[in-house]
Amino acid sequence: MNKKSLMIIILILFTIPHARAEKPLIVASISPLAEIVKEAFGNSVDVVHIVPPGADPHQYQLTPDQIELIKRADIVVTANGHLPVEQKMKELQEEKVLTAKVLFAEDYAKYGFHFLPERWYNNKNNPHGVWLDPYNALAIARATGDALIAKYPASRETYEKEYMRFEAKVLGIVKSYRALVEKNATAIVELPSQQYAIEWLGIRVVSSIKPEEEIPAKSVDELLEITKTVDFIAYSTQSPEALKNAALELSRRTGKPLADITTIWIDKPYTEILIENSKAVMGALNQKLDQKTTIIQQTTKAENISTIYVFLALVVGISLGMAVGILIRK
């Protein structure tokens, strides 16, 4: 073998590992989607998100630098295409500016992704917080995995193995918590997004303090009667003060327990938030159960006391009657 051929082989050997070491870049519109993908595929991918902490995703617009970032992406993950940044991503895809596979609700649908109805607002599909439903999270992760395999078929085994680990963990949490929820439980939510953190447990959300993004919040007085009929109120300590105060006031005036639900977060695994939200719901339901138990105990105690008083009254009445009879006979 001559020196020239040897150099070519050495160059190939050094070049191929570098090409394989480069991870696919996945750009998510918002941080919870990024956390789903990170946990689902681990170190096999690089994941970033667009909307920064503290920004309103319903108002945020893509910057020129972010557009350049998306152009370099292998896969783009959206919630369902309704946010401004996601709409812009769709435009860029249609204009063929992007080479990335852009994933929308229709890409997740074949894996079980679903919308819930906003029963309090024309019964329309609720587009907010869809990722909080664990079945939706799995659908998003599965579609992302398929897109990765389509682009990098040589890494199929890695992506499939990572996804299956994530799926097993999510379904284990789902099975554990669903078994604990009593049937026919109901709730009121502070924001429509919180519906997705609750209904997968078998709990029906009957109303929302803020019906929709563009609709003003309902007053406490408006919601007072319906709140009396539910088991708990879902809210978030991260919510705007006015909404949070409305939830706290409803709880104070009706005695209904509160469940603190996280909808947007950064740098926490998806399953950790799933557990935290589920614990908050169970805590509220258990508090409700404790209240029922206390009422039953108080009622039983009151009934027992009443029975004793009746018995004593009869004894006293009989005694008095006997005494009067003796006096008359005398």
Per the confidence metrics, is the pTM higher than 0.85? no
User: Selecting from 3.40.190.10, 3.40.50.1980, 3.40.47.10, 3.30.70.580, what CATH number does the domain 186-290 have?
Assistant: 3.40.50.1980
Cα Rg of the chain, angstroms: 30
Superfamily of domain 21-178: Nitrogenase molybdenum iron protein domain (3.40.50.1980)
Q: Report d(CA 202, CA 262) in Å as an integer.
A: 19
Residue pair 281/232 in contact by the 8 Å Cβ criterion:
yes
Strand bridging mode 116-118 / 124-126:
antiparallel
pLDDT tens digits, 169-184: 999 999 999 999 988 9
Tokens 């408006």 -> residue: 222
E strands, the chain, are 25-28, 46-49, 75-77, 101-103, 116-118, 124-126, 186-189, 204-208, 232-235, 258-260
pLDDT tens digits, 261-305: 999 999 999 999 999 999 999 999 999 666 544 434 444 444 444
pLDDT at 136 over 70: yes
Compute the CA torsion angle 163, 165, 44, 69 (nearest 10 deg): 50
What DSSP string runs through 274-308?
Answer: HHHHHHHHHHHHHHHHHHHHHHHHHHHHHHHHHHH
pLDDT tens digits, 217-259: 999 999 999 999 999 999 999 999 999 999 999 999 999 999 9
Task: Tell which residue, 220, 260, 212, has the closest CA to residue 236.
Answer: 260
Return mean pLDDT, the chain: 87
pLDDT at 75 over 50: yes
Domain boundary assignment for the chain = 21-178, 186-290
Tokens 């079945």 -> residue: 135
186 bridge partner residues: 204
33-42, 78-87, 136-145, 308-317: segment of lowest average pLDDT: 308-317
Residue that wins the pLDDT comparison between 53 and 312? 53
189 bridge partner residues: 208, 234
Structure tokens at 24: 């696919």
Q: What is the pLDDT of residue 2?
A: 57
CATH topology agreement for domains 21-178 and 186-290: yes
